[in-house]
Structure 1
Amino acid sequence: MSADRTTQGPSEKPDDGAVVRSARGAKGPGGPGGRGPMGGMGMPTEKAMNFGGSLRRFAGYLRPERVRVVVVTALAVVSVTLAVLGPKLLGNATNLIFEGVMSAGLPAGQTQDEVIAGLRATGQDKLADLLSGMTLTPGQGLDTTALRNVLLVVVAVYVGSFLFGWLQGRFTATVVQNTVLNLRDEVEAKINRLPLSYFDREQRGEVLSRVTNDIDNVAQTLQQTLSQLVTSILTIIGVLGMMFWISPLLAVVALVTVPLSVLVTALIAKRSQPQFIKQWAATGTINAHVEEMYSGHALVKVFGHQDSAIETFDEENVALYEASFKAQFISGIIQPAMGFIANLNYVIVAVVGGLRVASGTMTLGDVQAFIQYSRQFTQPITQVASMMNLLQSGVASVERVFELLDADEQTPDPANPQHVPDVQGRVAFEDVAFSYSPDVPLISSLSLVAEPGQTVAIVGPTGAGKTTLVNLIMRFYEVNSGRITLDGVDIATMTRDELRSNIGMVLQDTWLFNGTIADNIRYGATGDVPTERLLEAAVATHVDPFVRTLPDGYETVLDDEGGSVSAGEKQLLTIARAFLADPAILILDEATSSVDTRTEVLVQKAMNALREGRTSFVIAHRLSTIRDADVILVMEHGDIVEQGDHDSLLAAGGAYARLYQSQFAVAEVD
């Protein structure tokens, strides 16, 4: 199949006013920009975010990486354990230095007990209490060998902690990227399962924002929180254990500030959470506007709506600024608030610890280690609090991705599909009814038969249901009642892939991707296409002559808008693409409406070559292009009001004759 662009949906064709209305910032049912009744779908600016539920659901994406997650956790345990041992070992080094200095000042030949007893006898009880908490050898001085050994152990411990932390980081990166890879794959597969109606009511920029910006934000959040969260929690547990080991009293004093930290974090997070939802919703809105203005920039300039487009952008940009500012500012308060509480904890520990050293119930090294542990204890708490900022932003994004994943899908293909092994091209509508909205009927009780090899032209005013007819053949939409058959087989009982592989489609809106001319033509065929077949298709559809004039010929690279070739040449390329696909059924939807008269002759010749031997449905406003059609269907309000060939319909003097005469009259006036 060669479908050059998915058709538009409820309206027959996108009119130029669609972009103009958006540029003016008209207010419609969908809000700013007149984006339709579903324009704001998927932007939960007022709905409370299900933080816990979304987080648990996303955790399910980590299951395939559970082995690596276990490895990450094990590496984190080793790294944190070594890091937690460091302050205690440094405290031992401090004790060696302090005790060595104190020992050097005491008279040699006495024991520590004798020195303390002498101090108490002379009324120096406070100094005696201080010395009683140490291990002294009067007159000996500093033991440099013991100090060196302790410091070497400290260095080894910290180096080991770094190495295990580095390995943890590598495994974490693998877990994160594999998880996000699977999420992107699921989103891509979901997009391919969504019905055309979803894209009719959603802005492209909004959908793209969910697929790109939101998933990137999820990846960043996961990368920054997964490893750090595990490390922080383990650090809290390890440090807390060491604090109680050194001094239960000081540990209880240090824990007094924890409830205060939790309370402050919860209060701030509650206020910042809705702002993150608004931030990412506003990001999707502004992306949609920018994409719309970029794709329709020429039309905006033609109608002079640059100022209104800029005004709309400014409004949406300010909305994004305000939401982002509030989200970042409110959540940013967490860090300084935690720092303030940590400093209060530091002061309390230092004062109480100093008093206990003076009383001889603790050593100076233990107080030093405890102060380090108190810092290590508050730091991961602060990190966890700060990660609430990232987590809220990430969960807001993942919810938007989940909304896309939870969107209603097109009806699945039948479990036991029927096959049409050798398609002849007989298409029959049997009492078909269809409407885009239940309360707005469009097609009712439509029946027609296109025999193999026939050219069926469909004419009528805009909104009559012409494009809807071919949408139903392609199963872009499902009929409400009745059925459509291909060679007697209900197309609803076939897989979409099999059905569409037998249909070629050329639309008014030519679609070319960024690649060479040869690649664009080959896009219509499956498997490897020999150069001979490609050239045959190009010659038959009059593509070859103009391609030969290009410097790089068939290797000329086109951008996604085909800017290096004219509108008529782009149309010829899409016809060549369909020709190469060699479909049994051909759909031509206004394929010549955007080209000049001279180019139209070439395009018409190419289409004639393409239609030969195929069942063709041709939608056309220029009635001169469908005079030789086998059957002409005249549609009005979703119904076929006339059918026959050109001559018989003119002779009947009905709707077709009026359409033809109106075009002839316009030509005469011109």
Structure 2
Amino acid sequence: MPNLEADESLNHLFTWKKFMDLLNKSKPKMTLLIVGFIISLISTGISLMIPLFTKNLVDGFSLKNLNAGFIAIIVAAFLIQALTSAISSYMMGVMGEQTVANLRQLVWHKIVDLKVAYFDDHQTGETTSRLTNDTTVVKSLVADQLPSFISGILSMVGAFIVLFLMDWKMTLVILVAVPIVALLMIPIGNWMRKISIRLQRQTAEFNSLSTETLSEARLVKASNGETTEIKNGDNGIQNLYQTGVQEAKIMAIISPIMLLAMMGILVAVIGYGGVRVQNGTLTIGTLVAFLLYLFQIIAPATQFSQFFTQLQKTKGATARLNDILEQPVEDLSAGKAVDVSGQTIAVHDVSFNYEADKPVLKHISFEAHPNSIVAFAGPSGSGKSTLFSLLERFYQPTSGEITLGTHPINDIALESWRGQIGYVAQDSALFTGTIRHNLTYGLDRDVSDDELWQVLKLAFADQFVRDMPDQLNTQVGERGVKVSGGQRQRLSIARAFLRDPKILMLDEATASLDSQSEEMVQRALNNLMAHRTTLVIAHRLSTIVDADKIIFIENGEITGQGTHKELLATHDLYRQYVDEQFNN
């Protein structure tokens, strides 16, 4: 979908019900809201009394009236009004901050629980932009603009009521301007909403570009890609600039309109009031009080343009956040906890496709018996890693079924199923942090240093860790860049040892290593595979010649399965692969 169409579609997704539902999900502290509202009422009431004091002072002005008691009342009124206003603003601000913190937790928990398919279709930078930028937009409305908007509304309503009671004719002069300003602001607000949605999209796209470029800095440098990335970044920045200029243009229109309206009202009130004073139908004190009340209306009214501008931005942010919150998630606890030990994994006529009419796997069937090694070989892109993804339950088969003993694996709780699987990939990921953190990642139990050193020894990783200055507390850097590929693989194997998995899945775990590192990693893998059901995707066939079963996959279909000797005798392409690898 073109960007403009996507923006328009997102624009139509917003409803006030969804916005209120989003706030309700964020569980605002109603006690703070109610108490803050009450204190704001008190503050507004006191502020509305001050012009009345001024009116009486002007109309009945004399030095005798300026006694200590009267001055003390005026000062006390100002102090109490300032104090209650500060307390109310603080409480409303805390409520807004807490609400947005809850919203961020809600979105973060949702993102972590999303299915893998969501991340296939959405760039990482786009998703993080939803979590940071869009929630910040909501925060600005709820925590910053909303408290001042509520207090402003109270002040304006109270001032209008007092003004109407004082002199309804003068009040009508002010009210005439309200529908005029509203008619001007409505189309500007719609324009602002469209620009805000575009700005949020472009921010997400730029965030995605920068995240991807920075995370692959070595590839950029190795490929002389600096010029390309600078150009891409400049285009993103220019798009943001142009949209920002349009936003500034709207703000430049809104402020003068509001100022012109307010100044027009002020001039009209002073002019009309001056005539009334000359005619003797209005006292000077009443006119002064009227002007003071008018400032209590004008001051919040000028802030309302900021509130409604932020409200338009929040509409786009709400639509994007709701889009995430409405996505299906994985329920880790749904199903039964099943011990996989001693049970056969069976794949029954499984087919799968990422897109309709583009099958990746076609009618796959095989069995992996307990404590056996089943290896998968075949050309790149034949569907081997996709099969592993189905076994991990990242995706569901388009047709067919996978069972463990008599249980369909879909009936097993994901937490139980994945908790018994150890996975080592070709380029095993490490998180930013220490070696200790990476080894214990995902475990919900305490692990002693002795246990960590034991699994490192089994993975032939203990020596290089001991040689590091901080040993278990050594920082591995982003994605493990501070350790070599072979060291990274052995740390991943040690992590798998610590999980003590019943099922082991190895996805070309030695494919990208040099011969010396491969030998070390293979020895560690041999330790790890003992007494476990092991599924292996192999690029180097020398690592799987002793497998109990080798399954050869081409174009998503099994074209042969058996032992190494059996496939040598019956499968031409497998025999060709063996000749190429063993005789070179």
TM-score (structure 1 length as normaliser): 0.83
Residue 175 (str. 1) matches residue 139 (str. 2): no
Aligned-residue offset at 1:413: 6.5
Query: Distance in 2 between the 1:232 and 1:382 partners?
Result: 10
Aligned-residue offset at 1:643: 1.2
Residue 187 (str. 1) matches residue 138 (str. 2): no
Residue 48 (str. 1) matches residue 11 (str. 2): yes
Distance 1:56 1:360, change over 3 A: same
Residue 229 (str. 1) matches residue 192 (str. 2): no
Consecutive unaligned residues in structure 2, runs of 5 or more: none
4+ residue segments displaced more than 6 Å: none
Residue of structure 1 in register with 2:54 after alignment? 90
Q: What residue identity is the alignment partner of 1:374? A: L
Residue of structure 2 in register with 1:517 after alignment? 435
Query: Distance in 2 between the 1:332 and 1:61 partners?
Result: 35
Residue 76 (str. 1) matches residue 24 (str. 2): no
Q: What residue identity is the alignment partner of 1:613? A: H
Aligned-residue offset at 1:429: 0.7
Query: Distance in 1 between the 2:6 and 2:91 partners?
Result: 34
Aligned-residue offset at 1:255: 1.5
Query: Distance in 2 between the 1:489 and 1:323 partners?
Result: 56
2:363 to 445, 450, 468: 445
Aligned CA RMSD, in angstroms, stands at 2.1
Query: Distance in 1 between the 2:434 and 2:22 partners?
Result: 40
1:626 to 544, 551, 564: 544
Secondary structure in 1 matching 2:287: helix
Q: What residue identity is the alignment partner of 2:410? A: A
Residue of structure 2 in register with 1:567 after alignment? 485
Is the Cα contact below 8 Å between 1:342 and 1:375 reproduced in 2? Answer: no
Secondary structure in 1 matching 2:359: coil
Query: Distance in 1 between the 2:8 and 2:519 partners?
Result: 53
Residue 583 (str. 1) matches residue 546 (str. 2): no
- Written as runs of structure 1 = structure 2, the 5 A alignment for 1:298-377 is 298-377=218-297
Secondary structure in 1 matching 2:393: coil
Residue of structure 1 in register with 2:24 after alignment? 60
Between 1:623-632 and 1:650-659, the stretch displaced more is: 650-659
Distance 1:531 1:384, change over 3 A: same
Secondary structure in 2 matching 1:44: helix
Distance 1:193 1:563, change over 3 A: closer
Is the Cα contact below 8 Å between 2:130 and 2:204 reproduced in 1? Answer: yes
Instruction: Give CA-to-partner distance per residue, 1:386-430, whole Å, 9 cap, x none.
Output: 2111111122212211111122445x5796x33323622521111
Residue 279 (str. 1) matches residue 243 (str. 2): no
Is the Cα contact below 8 Å between 1:504 and 1:585 reproduced in 2? Answer: yes
Q: What residue identity is the alignment partner of 1:506? A: V
Secondary structure in 1 matching 2:363: strand
Residue 431 (str. 1) matches residue 349 (str. 2): yes
Distance 1:64 1:317, change over 3 A: closer
Identity over aligned pairs, percent: 33
Aligned-residue offset at 1:206: 0.4
Secondary structure in 2 matching 1:326: helix
Residue of structure 2 in register with 1:150 after alignment? 70
Instruction: Give CA-to-partner distance per residue, 1:53-99, whole Å, 9 cap, x none.
Output: 443333434655223222221111111111121122122223343xx
Secondary structure in 1 matching 2:447: coil
Distance 1:41 1:555, change over 3 A: farther
1:295 to 205, 210, 215: 215
Query: Distance in 2 between the 1:451 and 1:337 partners?
Result: 77
Residue of structure 2 in register with 1:388 after alignment? 308
Q: What residue identity is the alignment partner of 1:661? A: D
Is the Cα contact below 8 Å between 2:551 and 2:562 reproduced in 1? Answer: yes
Secondary structure in 2 matching 1:436: strand
Q: What residue identity is the alignment partner of 1:548? A: R
Residue 456 (str. 1) matches residue 374 (str. 2): yes
Aligned-residue offset at 1:616: 0.7
Aligned-residue offset at 1:653: 4.7
1:495 to 392, 406, 413: 413
Distance 1:188 1:425, change over 3 A: farther
Residue of structure 2 in register with 1:406 after alignment? 326
Secondary structure in 2 matching 1:143: helix
Instruction: Count residues with an aligned counterpart.
Output: 583
Residue of structure 2 in register with 1:264 after alignment? 184
Q: What residue identity is the alignment partner of 2:529? A: R
Is the Cα contact below 8 Å between 1:273 and 1:327 reproduced in 2? Answer: no
Q: What residue identity is the alignment partner of 1:630? A: D
Is the Cα contact below 8 Å between 2:22 and 2:322 reproduced in 1? Answer: no
Q: What residue identity is the alignment partner of 1:92? A: N
Between 1:282-291 and 1:166-175, the stretch displaced more is: 166-175
Query: Distance in 1 between the 2:9 and 2:199 partners?
Result: 12
Is the Cα contact below 8 Å between 1:630 and 1:645 reproduced in 2? Answer: yes
Distance 1:224 1:653, change over 3 A: closer
Secondary structure in 2 matching 1:300: helix
Secondary structure in 1 matching 2:536: strand
Q: What residue identity is the alignment partner of 1:333? A: I
Between 1:175-184 and 1:63-72, the stretch displaced more is: 63-72
Between 1:470-479 and 1:481-490, the stretch displaced more is: 481-490
Distance 1:568 1:414, change over 3 A: closer
Query: Distance in 2 between the 1:77 and 1:63 partners?
Result: 24
Query: Larger relative contact order (C-alpha < 8 A, sep ≥ 6)?
Result: 1
Distance 1:41 1:433, change over 3 A: farther
Is the Cα contact below 8 Å between 2:26 and 2:106 reproduced in 1? Answer: no
Q: What residue identity is the alignment partner of 1:501? A: G
Aligned-residue offset at 1:663: 2.9
Q: What residue identity is the alignment partner of 2:283? A: T
Residue 614 (str. 1) matches residue 578 (str. 2): no
Distance 1:629 1:346, change over 3 A: same
Residue of structure 2 in register with 1:557 after alignment? 475
Query: Distance in 2 between the 1:212 and 1:593 partners?
Result: 38
Is the Cα contact below 8 Å between 1:96 and 1:143 reproduced in 2? Answer: no
1:657 to 568, 575, 583: 575
Aligned-residue offset at 1:52: 3.2
Aligned-residue offset at 1:385: 2.5
Query: Distance in 2 between the 1:649 and 1:586 partners?
Result: 24
Query: Distance in 2 between the 1:413 and 1:524 partners?
Result: 14
Is the Cα contact below 8 Å between 2:11 and 2:319 reproduced in 1? Answer: no
Secondary structure in 2 matching 1:428: strand
Secondary structure in 2 matching 1:217: helix
Residue of structure 2 in register with 1:468 after alignment? 386
Is the Cα contact below 8 Å between 1:45 and 1:278 reproduced in 2? Answer: no
Instruction: Give CA-to-partner distance per residue, 1:499-549, whole Å, 9 cap, x none.
Output: 101101011222112222122112253311122221110101011010111
Query: Distance in 1 between the 2:220 and 2:514 partners?
Result: 23
Aligned-residue offset at 1:332: 4.1
Residue 208 (str. 1) matches residue 128 (str. 2): yes
Instruction: Give CA-to-partner distance per residue, 1:356-412, whole Å, 9 cap, x none.
Output: 2222222212111101111221222222232111111122212211111122445x5
Is the Cα contact below 8 Å between 1:575 and 1:610 reproduced in 2? Answer: yes
Secondary structure in 2 matching 1:632: strand
